[in-house]
Structure 1
């Protein structure tokens, strides 16, 4: 039977892949990370691979190594190892909590712990950051212990906030800073400023500590000055 006029016969051909490049993966480590693909904390496998040229599905010639990569256990996406530099949600929360706690201690050490209003502001800030069992007594006791530890939190004559104190602030804030939006960095400095202002205007030592906080948060001098001025406005 002839095909109808205007119709076309169709032929289906099967494309055969004679050769291709395949990768065999080897797991060299694992852990938990913040997956860029999933947008949350996930388990991962750190993997290296070896590429081979395959002929009719049979591995033949080596095409070199690839990776390492980070493979998400949930979405199976492959990411560069720099994905491990981003803290997990739990780690980020802990870093933020510790940063606020360190800033509060630094401001209290610079201005003293004799003001109930200052202590109240400090306790509120530290609790809001995650230390829910923080009390005024726990803060004052910690500062007393730190001051007794070779004066690490006492101001020095050449460095008003003390060299050791500056190190403590930088160690707590610098690892966190790259993962904070500008508003987040400003919020930490603003929190410290409100604690210092609990009993009135900034003292010279309090201002020096807050400038150190601003530097650790990579805020420029003008931005730090603006925030310290803005913190003095009534809420």
Structure 2
């Protein structure tokens, strides 16, 4: 049974220069689920994420996140909402001039006035939470591997103990072992912390491994949303090719072997 809807998108229209990216898009995100968002190039996966969290202003429609109107809400309401979600942007999007510890502390400094020792304690706890050693905290992003940068970005996303985290291509650029480890980390954190996860991805292994539901963006809207079984039965050409093509078959075999 589906849980409480904590993000509700209705009739969303996003347009930049040219035809709309989204036109009448509807989507629900349920509390406690891992939702994978997929689609072809140019379907606006990252645009949808940015619109939900308020970084992009839609031309029309509505976005309600944890009870807050993210399009028409007041600045006070939006500021309160921002403390309830975290975001991992592509490749971590860490501030290059700050150490990892300082990066993790950015949202804490933005929303709270805490003493230095408590800031350090919280940041180190988040480092441990994502599987990074304490000495990584004093390093700069350029001194980290790609996988470590993503984990550091995830630690920053968790700094305020959010209810929902948004992940934009979290396993892109990682080798298969690193990607599988990151998937497992996300699932472990989701279960331990009761998180809701919205994950933009193209990684079929991630979809098989950790997603409860999948939403497919096509034709400027959410074409279909549901569990993997729904995707495998859908007859739209792109959906069929994506979930039944060679890469999909390889991912399915991997998933079966892991279950054994």
Q: Pick the TM interval, shorter chain.
A: under 0.3
TM-score (ref. length: structure 1) = 0.25
Q: Which has the higher contact order (CA 8 A, sep 6+)?
A: 2
